[in-house]
């Protein structure tokens, strides 16, 4: 049987629970019976279909189309006949059952069609209730007349069903009206008539213009609802439900608007717009997915706040730069040399000396970048000074030189461009003028998605408020400033001592290592051989910790403290590096450099594993059997050290820049290191670190990193430029050996590879007489631009001030207006109250009654009318206020009160 195949809807079940058991049995009964039931079944099917049609005005079943229409016509006829018969017949018990079955099945069909509308229905039920209730009674009446012995429960079920229909009809108000009219007027033929009207509403083609208009309005309303949903003060659940419903509604009925060909086109257009939007969204998602490590960083950001995330973003940025540097060196130097240069062993500079050959493949030697590693494309000693290599006549020395210069130039460009962009973003903001407002409205970091971090953030905001209040008080008191100053000076002094100590230690160690080198490294232990690297790495690791402890003395805001910390670590690293270079200056040892970088990397990783991971493991698992809470108390988990890590990164990069000219392998090494760092640190930070206690936003510190990077870049290119310009290349200087100066390769190329006029032009262009004015012009241009931008900035600030003043003025105006309105209101009220008073009370005890009245309601006691005359004109705001206050106070605190509100007659 057709109806039996329909799935029972959840909603229908719980709405019509009473009918369900009966229904099943009756349906079975019915299926056993044949013959005259056919009609009924047909009518059922017909009803079902009608509802289906109603459920989806833009009916999907266009495939069924005309056939459907024919069938429907037939069925309608039959149904009419049936209903007429039904009217006349006196029905037996059997009939009752049938009726029930019919209704319930109808309901089933109905509910199934309305699965989507169910929720809307619920929402609208509230409104529909009254109307539905009214209609219910009508229905009952009708029902009773239709089936002479209609059961009560049947009626009940019926009403529920009708209610469902009701709500649906509400969407198509016109239909509702029409059908209801019909219901009231011709009760006998009601069902058939209703069928007709509903049949009409089913097909969009058959809708009249005004119906269409209404539908359009409804669709527009839904669209508006979707747009404004975000601002609605509803719970999220309701919002989601409403959104889904509205979207479905719009989707369903939007296509129905328009007529004939236009309709199809319209539907097509709508569909295409939707597809296009979806594509755009997907494309955005795809773009985000393409950014490497984006999701990882976002996750970290949600756990640790933006300051930690800024480190990883910085790391990623650095990785990108190194990738480009690596691409340059690899593509233009290493690959051509490996492909086209002379192979290993062909010339002395490409061969490991016989004395070293036995140990050249030992790991220890390779680790120190000796042996085969030294005689490879990794170091520039391997490259031949041959002017052109291979069948392509690749100018190797020139390429090498230009790549070296290009690397540095590119780095400068990128850093400066980023700085400029950051500076633009930061805008003009004054942090000082609305301290508390800023704190109030902008403290929260909305990227936090972890409860623990949120707790921390909450706590830190609270503390910052407390501190700010204290600060405000302090600034007014203005005592203790001397102590703070003293402590800050003391802290800086201590830091300086540390720096000097570490500098001296490095100097000492480097000198000692030179002595070892003279003795021959084989005679010394591993510790002694690696002393320099070890000491430098250890100092670089521990001194920042000490600075951190010392900086607690200074009592700065964490953002300021972070900058100080960064500055100090910067000084430390720089000092150490330069001590190292100066102590080595007479024989810059390239191998030493690479070793330093490698050992630095290794110490970072080892410290990560020991300091973070091991500690976390110990804290976590020893906590079960320890006498105090290790997690919350003493060792605890480590925090992520943003400043140390950033500086580590920056200095590492500085060393890469410094050495990249002499060892083309360095960018490759750095890429590898950064890649590993990314994964390792991401893992470590998520697995062993806890969010910082004072989570703060990193905005503004980015440019600080960049500035540091710029300084480092400058300082690290200095030695390279110095050597290029001043020192004549030796035999070991690979591509440049045999030349007076390294930059001679350019001259050589100009002379031999370019036409004579070009070199002439070049020599003219490089004439100091031409270069100097050019530089002067550039300086002037820079100065001009600088001053213009400054004036713009000033104008901005002025504008801001003006806006501010305007705002203040407006506020004052509003306040005045509000005050006036309030006063007017009060006046009116007092007048009214007094009038009442006069009616109820005698004049003698008015004072007392006023007092009582006030005590009860807490309202302003109504003064007598006589008072009103003496009141000042309403335009003068401040005058009634003391009066008002006085009235408020008097009843509570002054028992023997005889104030102004006392009648004076």
Partner 1 sequence: MVSPAIALAFIPLLLTLLIRYRYYFVLFYRAILVRIWKDCVTGLSREERAYQYVLTTATPGDPDSILDAFDVWCNKVEFISNIGPKKGKILDRMLMEQGPLTVLELGAHCGYSTVRIARALPLGARLYSVEMDQRNAAIAEKIVRLAGFDDDTVRKQKYLTYSLYIKCIHFILCIEYGKYYTTETSTLCVLKVELIVNPSDEVIPRLRSDYGLDRLDFVFMDHWKKSYCPDLQMLEGSGLLGKGSMIVADNVLFPGAPKFLRHIRKSGLYEWKIHRATLEYSKGIRDGMAELVYQGIK
Could you list the residues that contact partner 1 (CB under 8 A)? 498, 502, 505, 508-509, 512, 525, 527-528, 531, 534-535, 538-539, 541-543, 545-546, 548-550, 623, 627-629, 631-634
CB of 457 to partner 1, least distance (A): 15
What separation, in Å, do the N-terminal and C-terminal C-alpha atoms of the chain show? Answer: 94
Q: Which residues share a beta bridge with 689?
A: 638
Residue 395 carries which DSSP code?
A: -
CB of 608 to partner 1, least distance (A): 16
CA distance 39 to 196: 18
CB of 531 to partner 1, least distance (A): 5
CB of 436 to partner 1, least distance (A): 23
* Secondary structure (H, E, C), 768-783: HHHHHHHHHHHHHHHH
Identity of the residue, 207 or 491, whose beta carbon is nearer to partner 1 in the bound complex: 491
Compute and round to an integer the Cα radius of gyration of the chain: 44
CA distance 239 to 326: 52
CA distance 59 to 56: 5
CB of 481 to partner 1, least distance (A): 23
CB of 569 to partner 1, least distance (A): 12
Judge residue 73's burial from the number of C-beta atoms within 10 Å of its C-beta, 0-12 exposed, 13-18 middle, 19 or more buried.
exposed
* Distance from chain centroid for Cα 10: 39
CB of 238 to partner 1, least distance (A): 23
By the 8 A CB rule, do 310 and 701 touch? yes
* Contacts with 817 (C-beta within 8 Å, 6 or more apart), sequence order: none
Q: Tell how strand 638-639 and strand 689-690 pair up.
A: parallel
Identity of the residue, 623 or 699, whose beta carbon is nearer to partner 1 in the bound complex: 623
* Contacts with 536 (C-beta within 8 Å, 6 or more apart), sequence order: 506, 576, 580, 596, 600
Q: Which residue's structure tokens are 């050495």? A: 659
Q: Nearest CA to 695 among 297, 295, 301?
A: 301
CB of 635 to partner 1, least distance (A): 9
CB of 630 to partner 1, least distance (A): 8
Identity of the residue, 87 or 639, whose beta carbon is nearer to partner 1 in the bound complex: 639
Identity of the residue, 77 or 452, whose beta carbon is nearer to partner 1 in the bound complex: 452
Identity of the residue, 345 or 633, whose beta carbon is nearer to partner 1 in the bound complex: 633
By the 8 A CB rule, do 261 and 274 touch? no
Identity of the residue, 282 or 455, whose beta carbon is nearer to partner 1 in the bound complex: 455
Q: How many C-beta neighbours within 10 Å does residue 344 have?
A: 15
Q: Indicate if the alpha-carbon torsion angle 66, 68, 72, 78 is positive or negative.
A: positive
By the 8 A CB rule, do 223 and 186 touch? no
CB of 264 to partner 1, least distance (A): 57
CB of 470 to partner 1, least distance (A): 16
Q: Count Cα atoms within 13 angstroms, Cβ side, for 593.
A: 29
Identity of the residue, 513 or 830, whose beta carbon is nearer to partner 1 in the bound complex: 513
* Secondary structure (H, E, C), 563-624: HHHHHHHHHHHHHHHHHHHHHCHHHCCHHHHHHHHHHHHHHHHHHHHHHHHHHHHHHHHHHH
By the 8 A CB rule, do 748 and 387 touch? yes
Identity of the residue, 31 or 514, whose beta carbon is nearer to partner 1 in the bound complex: 514
Residues in the chain: 905
CA distance 283 to 840: 77
Token digits of residue 709: 């990077």
Identity of the residue, 553 or 865, whose beta carbon is nearer to partner 1 in the bound complex: 553
Identity of the residue, 545 or 761, whose beta carbon is nearer to partner 1 in the bound complex: 545
* Distance from chain centroid for Cα 374: 48
Identity of the residue, 90 or 632, whose beta carbon is nearer to partner 1 in the bound complex: 632
Interhelix angle 396-426/306-329, rounded to 10 degrees, is 160
Identity of the residue, 567 or 700, whose beta carbon is nearer to partner 1 in the bound complex: 567
By the 8 A CB rule, do 444 and 457 touch? yes
CB of 819 to partner 1, least distance (A): 39
């Amino acid at each position: 049987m057709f109806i039996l195949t329909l799935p029972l809807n959840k909603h229908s079940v719980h709405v019509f629970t009473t009918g369900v058991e009966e229904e099943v049995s009756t349906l079975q009964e019915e299926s056993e019976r044949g013959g005259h039931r056919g009609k009924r079944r047909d009518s059922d099917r017909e009803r079902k279909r009608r509802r289906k049609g109603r459920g989806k005005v833009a009916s999907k079943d266009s495939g069924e189309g005309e056939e459907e229409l024919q069938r429907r016509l037939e069925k309608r006829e039959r149904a009419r006949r049936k209903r007429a018969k039904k009217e006349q017949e006196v029905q037996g018990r059997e009939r009752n059952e049938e009726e029930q079955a019919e209704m319930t099945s109808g309901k089933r069909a109905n509910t199934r069609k309305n699965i989507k509308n169910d929720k809307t229905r619920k929402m609208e039920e509230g409104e529909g209730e009254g109307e539905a209730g009214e209609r219910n009674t009508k229905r009952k009446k009708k029902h009773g007349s239709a089936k002479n012995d209609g059961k009560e429960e049947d009626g009940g079920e019926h009403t529920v069903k009708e209610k469902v229909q009701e709500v649906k009809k509400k969407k198509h108000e016109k239909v509702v009206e029409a059908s209801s009219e019909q219901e009231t007027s011709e009760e006998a033929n009601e069902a058939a008539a209703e069928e007709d009207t509903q049949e009409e509403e089913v097909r969009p083609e058959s809708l009249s213009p005004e119906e269409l208009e209404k539908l359009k309005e409804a669709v527009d309303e839904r669209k508006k609802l979707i747009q404004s949903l975000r601002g609605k003060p509803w719970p999220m659940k309701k919002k989601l439900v409403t959104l889904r419903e509205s979207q479905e509604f719009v989707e369903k009925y939007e296509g129905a608007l328009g007529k004939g060909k236009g309709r199809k086109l319209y539907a097509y257009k709508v569909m295409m717009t939707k597809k296009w939007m979806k594509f755009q969204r997907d494309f955005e998602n795809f773009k985000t997915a393409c950014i490497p490590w984006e999701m990882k960083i976002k996750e970290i950001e949600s756990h640790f706040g933006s300051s930690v995330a800024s480190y990883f973003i910085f790391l990623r940025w650095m990785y990108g730069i190194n990738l480009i540097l690596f691409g340059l060196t690899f593509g233009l130097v290493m690959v051509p040399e490996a492909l086209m240069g002379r192979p290993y062993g062909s010339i002395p500079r490409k061969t490991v000396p016989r004395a070293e050959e036995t140990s050249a493949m030992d790991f220890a030697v390779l680790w120190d970048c000796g042996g085969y590693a030294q005689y490879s494309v990794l170091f520039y000693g391997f490259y031949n000074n041959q002017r052109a290599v291979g069948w392509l006549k690749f100018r190797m020395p020139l390429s090498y030189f230009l790549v070296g210069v290009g690397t540095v130039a590119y780095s400068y460009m990128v850093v400066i461009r980023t700085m400029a962009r950051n500076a633009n973003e930061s805008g003009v903001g004054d942090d000082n003028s609305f301290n508390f407002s800023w704190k109030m409205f902008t403290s929260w970091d909305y990227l936090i998605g972890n409860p623990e971090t949120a707790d921390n953030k909450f706590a830190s905001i609270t503390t910052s408020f407390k501190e700010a209040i204290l600060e405000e008080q302090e600034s007014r008191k203005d005592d203790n400033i001397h102590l703070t100053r003293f402590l800050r000076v003391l802290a800086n002094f201590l830091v300086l001592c540390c720096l000097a100590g570490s500098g001296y230690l490095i100097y000492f160690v480097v000198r000692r290592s030179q002595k070892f080198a003279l003795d021959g490294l084989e005679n010394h232990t591993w510790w002694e051989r690696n002393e320099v690297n070890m000491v430098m790495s250890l100092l670089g690791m521990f001194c920042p910790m000490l600075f951190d402890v010392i900086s607690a003395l200074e009592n700065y805001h964490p953002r300021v403290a972070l900058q100080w910390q960064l500055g100090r670590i910067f000084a430390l690293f720089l000092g150490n590096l330069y001590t190292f270079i100066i102590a080595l200056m007479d024989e810059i040892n390239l191998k030493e450099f690479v070793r330093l970088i490698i050992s630095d990397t290794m110490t970072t990783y080892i410290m990560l594993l020991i300091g973070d991971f091991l500690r976390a493991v110990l804290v976590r698992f020893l906590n079960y059997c320890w006498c105090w809470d290790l997690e919350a108390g003493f060792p605890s988990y480590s925090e992520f050290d943003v400043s140390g890590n950033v500086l580590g990164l920056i200095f590492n990069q500085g060393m890469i820049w410094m050495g990249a000219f002499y060892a083309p392998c360095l960018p490759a090494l750095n890429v590898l290191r950064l890649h590993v760092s990314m994964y390792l640190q991401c893992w470590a930070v998520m697995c062993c670190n806890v969010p910082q206690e004072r989570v703060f936003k990193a905005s503004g510190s980015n440019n600080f990193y960049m500035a540091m990077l710029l300084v480092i870049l400058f300082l690290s290119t200095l030695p390279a430029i110095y050597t290029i310009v001043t020192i004549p290349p030796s035999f070991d200087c690979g591509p440049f050996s045999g030349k007076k100066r390294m930059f001679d390769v350019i001259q050589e190329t100009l002379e031999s590879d370019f036409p004579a006029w070009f070199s002439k032009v070049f020599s003219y262009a490089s004439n100091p007489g031409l270069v100097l004015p050019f530089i002067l012009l550039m300086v002037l241009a820079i100065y001009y631009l600088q001053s213009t931008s400054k004036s713009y900035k000033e104008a901005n600030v002025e504008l801001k001030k003006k806006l501010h003043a305007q705002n203040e003025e407006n506020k004052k105006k509003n306040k005045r207006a509000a005050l006036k309105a309030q006063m007017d209101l009060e006046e009116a009220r007092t007048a009214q109250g007094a009038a009442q008073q006069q009616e109820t009370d005698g004049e003698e005890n008015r004072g007392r009654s006023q007092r009582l009245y006030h005590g009860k309601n807490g309202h302003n006691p109504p003064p007598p009318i006589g008072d009103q005359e003496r009141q000042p004109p309403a335009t003068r705001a401040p005058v009634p206020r003391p009066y008002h206050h006085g009235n408020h106070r008097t009843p509570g605190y002054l028992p023997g009160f005889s104030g102004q509100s006392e009648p004076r007659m």
